[in-house]
């Protein structure tokens, strides 16, 4: 059978389109998931907090701290954290950082908790900072790594340790995802600032908002790529599903002007959890801006929550 040029073009068109869509999905995956070895500049609306941020960073550089490691002989799974000790304290907070940040970028929260008498552990999550990894996993693999960090804390501090899990943005979602795991009894409370309800929903939201692209076919293709690269489909990465297994007290914090992780996701997370729960919706705050708006007010809310669910002995 002879195929003319027009028929050949008509037959080839779907293949060309599919190839183009898949190529675009590969580029989207690399853009969103591939590690970068620098901390990107903050958004323009938060530049007004730059001086305060660098003051916290100066404190972090000067404070006494130790380097902790997991799997130091395994190049693919080598993880690094920094531990800031507090004198005569059994209280520890693990602080989980945001997307393309590292432990040091959480210096403001670290100083706040340290002044409240907490030992502070600041991990660099997989594919961030000094830790190994090629692709960002948005908290799903990190939640398992944090179980190892918890074991190391208990081995170091003792079985009478009292542990708080705190995270912001991707770190908030990481804490929410940890909530569904079998946590040791030393973990007492959780605090999640600006965490998303699922990475699939977050990716679809940002595709539409930032790139004006539909969820289909891009999100399913990115999910397929993620399955090949990291071993799971994106619909596995659900804060809400994990929170349905949680019975620990949890404090949700979210800005009502957050256009990166919409506050509707925080409400979904709040409804999903099965434990005691509190929610502070911060008026006028954009993404992870609640602390920077008023650090003293932020600390008061944290302290009030801890007094209720983790009182001093």
CATH number for 89: 3.40.50.1820
**What pLDDT, on a 0 to 100 scale, did the predictor assign at position 78?**
98
- Decide if 241 is inside a domain: yes
pLDDT at 4: 52
Range of the structural domain that residue 45 is part of: 41-211+237-309
Q: Is there a domain that residue 231 lies in?
A: no
Structure tokens at 76: 């693919």
pTM recorded for the entire structure:
0.93
Q: Please give the pLDDT value at position 293.
A: 97
Q: Which residues contact 95 (CB under 8 A, 6 or more apart)?
A: 103, 106, 109, 110, 113, 120, 121, 122, 166, 167, 171
Handedness of CA 78, 79, 80, 86 (dihedral sign): negative
Provide the CB-side half-sphere exposure for 147 (13 A, CA): 12
Residue 282 resides in a domain: yes
Distances from the Cα of 46 to the Cαs of 2, 286, 293, in angstroms? 64, 9, 10
Contact at 8 Å (CB) between 244 and 51?
A: no
Mean pLDDT per 10-residue segment, the chain (313 residues): 43 44 93 93 88 97 98 97 97 98 98 98 98 97 98 98 98 98 98 98 95 93 97 96 98 97 98 97 98 98 98 82
Residue 161 lies in a domain: yes
In a domain, 18, yes or no: no
Q: State residue 14's pLDDT score.
A: 43
Asked, for residue 21, whether it belongs to a domain, the answer is no
Alpha-carbon distance of 147 to 195, in angstroms, equals: 19
Number of domains, the chain: 1
- Residue 294 maps to a domain: yes
Please check whether residue 167 is in contact with residue 192, taking contact to mean a CB–CB distance below 8 angstroms.
Answer: yes
Domain assignment present for 20:
no
In sequence order, what are the beta bridge partners of 267?
A: none
């Amino acid at each position: 059978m002879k195929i003319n040029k027009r028929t050949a073009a008509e037959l080839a068109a779907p293949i060309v389109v599919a190839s183009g869509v898949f190529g675009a999905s590969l580029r989207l995956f690399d853009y969103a998931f591939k590690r970068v070895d620098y901390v990107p500049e903050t958004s323009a609306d938060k530049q007004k907090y730059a001086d305060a941020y660098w003051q916290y960073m100066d404190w972090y550089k000067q404070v006494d701290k130790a380097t902790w490691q997991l799997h130091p002989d395994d190049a693919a799974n080598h993880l690094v954290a920094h531990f800031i000790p507090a004198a005569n304290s059994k209280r520890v907070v693990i602080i989980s950082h945001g997307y393309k940040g590292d432990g040091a970028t959480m210096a403001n929260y670290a100083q706040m908790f340290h002044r409240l008498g907490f030992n502070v552990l600041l991990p660099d999550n997989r594919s961030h900072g000094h830790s190994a990894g090629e692709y960002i996993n948005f908290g799903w693999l990190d939640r398992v790594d944090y179980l190892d960090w918890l074991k190391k804390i208990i081995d170091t501090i003792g079985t009478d340790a009292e542990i708080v899990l705190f995270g912001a943005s991707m770190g908030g979602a990481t804490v929410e995802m940890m909530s569904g795991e079998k946590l040791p009894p030393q973990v007492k409370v959780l605090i999640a600032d600006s965490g998303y309800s699922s990475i699939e929903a977050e990716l679809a939201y940002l595709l539409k908002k930032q790139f004006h692209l539909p969820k289909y076919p891009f999100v399913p293709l990115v999910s397929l790529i993620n399955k090949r690269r990291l071993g799971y489909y994106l619909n596995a990465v659900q804060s809400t599903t994990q929170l349905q297994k949680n019975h620990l007290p949890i404090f949700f914090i979210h800005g009502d002007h957050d256009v990166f992780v919409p506050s509707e996701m925080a409400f979904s997370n709040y409804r999903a959890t099965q434990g005691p729960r509190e929610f502070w919706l911060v008026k006028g705050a954009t993404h992870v801006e609640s602390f920077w708006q008023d650090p003293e007010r932020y600390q008061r809310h944290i302290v009030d929550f801890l007094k209720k669910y983790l009182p001093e002995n």
